Amino acid sequence: MRRWPLALGLVVVAAAAGFWLFTRPAVLSPQMQQALAAHPADPQRGETVFWAAGCAGCHAAPGLAFDAPLEDRLVLSGGRRFETGFGTFVAPNVSTDTDAGIGGWTTEEFARAMLLGVSPTGAHYYPAFPYSAYGNATPQDVADLWAFWQTLPADPTPTQAHELPLPLTLRRGLGLWKLANSQVAPPPAPDDPQLARGHYLAETLAHCTECHTPRDVIGRLDSTQWMAGAPNPSGDGRIPAIPPQGWSAEDIDAYLFSGFTPEFDVAGGSMADVVVQMAQLTSEDRQAIVAYLLALPTTH
């Protein structure tokens, strides 16, 4: 009987060690670090990545009108609130301010955050930041994006804390979520160059599935219902399936550029921000997205 406390103690220690091991934040591989530095970063190309990735849609100040100047969307002061079933997430200040924002980061720190969801201090980010999708971004695009980021204005607005219940405030446990989510993957990239470009833009940079695919109880995307529509995390209505049934390629392209539907309705909510950003892409890139969406298997 005296051995039971010792055995129980060993089990607890082993479980704690296993938890600590399997939830440790990932680091960039030497190959990724080399790839980031392999070619000069181009801020002009980075601007395309910026708009495609929807950075301003989350991190610009809340309350911007649909027709607000683009310059206002480049001030990444944060503060937008995202209501979910897990709590309220508040977009942080990611401007170039070295105190309130991320202006003091290195390229490698930015890449680790974007690709792996890990902060410079080694803390897991919550998946409200869509690093699960961004994790497939090319090293060149990440380096170019960071080069463009350096041209953006600084803003001293303090970052607000997320409003989450225990135990979700314990970020270490997010390592387990990342392990569970690692089995979820988008459809493979098609061989056709236009469709492959559309796949990369829609699945990786624009992270369309993050909103348009339903999730299970722990927040993983349901790979059997890819882009089939999902409940709105805020509880207000439903996010539609894409592509919308009955829409032509011209309909979708026009919607992504102007926000107007074939029925002359207009995009609202967070989709209005998406439209503003999609309108900054080239016509070729928007058409690639449209072609890929129309090629998706019908699950709805």
| Tens digit of each residue's pLDDT, the chain (300 residues) | 556 665 555 555 565 555 556 689 999 999 999 999 998 999 999 999 999 999 999 999 999 998 999 999 999 999 999 999 899 999 999 999 999 999 999 999 999 999 999 999 999 999 999 999 999 999 999 999 999 999 999 999 999 999 999 889 999 999 999 999 988 889 999 999 999 999 999 999 999 999 999 999 999 999 999 999 999 887 778 999 998 889 999 999 999 999 999 998 999 888 999 999 999 999 999 999 999 999 998 755
**Same structural domain, 196 and 261:** yes
Q: Out of 182, 205, 230, pick the residue that ends a domain.
A: 182
Task: Give the contacts of 273 (CB within 8 A, at least 6 positions apart).
Answer: 54, 56, 57, 60, 64
Q: How far apart are CA 207 and CA 203, in angstroms?
A: 5
**Same structural domain, 209 and 93:** no
**Same structural domain, 173 and 234:** no
Nearest to 23 by CA among 173, 130, 171: 173
Considering the domain boundaries, does residue 3 fall inside one? no
Element (H, E) at 87: strand 87-90
**Same structural domain, 124 and 58:** yes
Q: Out of 138, 158, 182, pick the residue that ends a domain.
A: 182
Q: How far apart are CA 208 and CA 155, in angstroms?
A: 28
**Same structural domain, 56 and 144:** yes
**Same structural domain, 152 and 190:** no
Considering the domain boundaries, does residue 160 fall inside one? yes
**Same structural domain, 295 and 226:** yes
**Same structural domain, 261 and 122:** no
Our count of domains for the chain comes to 2
Token pair belonging to 47: 């601007």
Considering the domain boundaries, does residue 12 fall inside one? no
* Domain carrying residue 107: 29-182
Task: Report pTM.
Answer: 0.93
Q: Out of 132, 150, 182, pick the residue that ends a domain.
A: 182
pLDDT in the model for residue 252: 97
Considering the domain boundaries, does residue 10 fall inside one? no
**Same structural domain, 174 and 274:** no
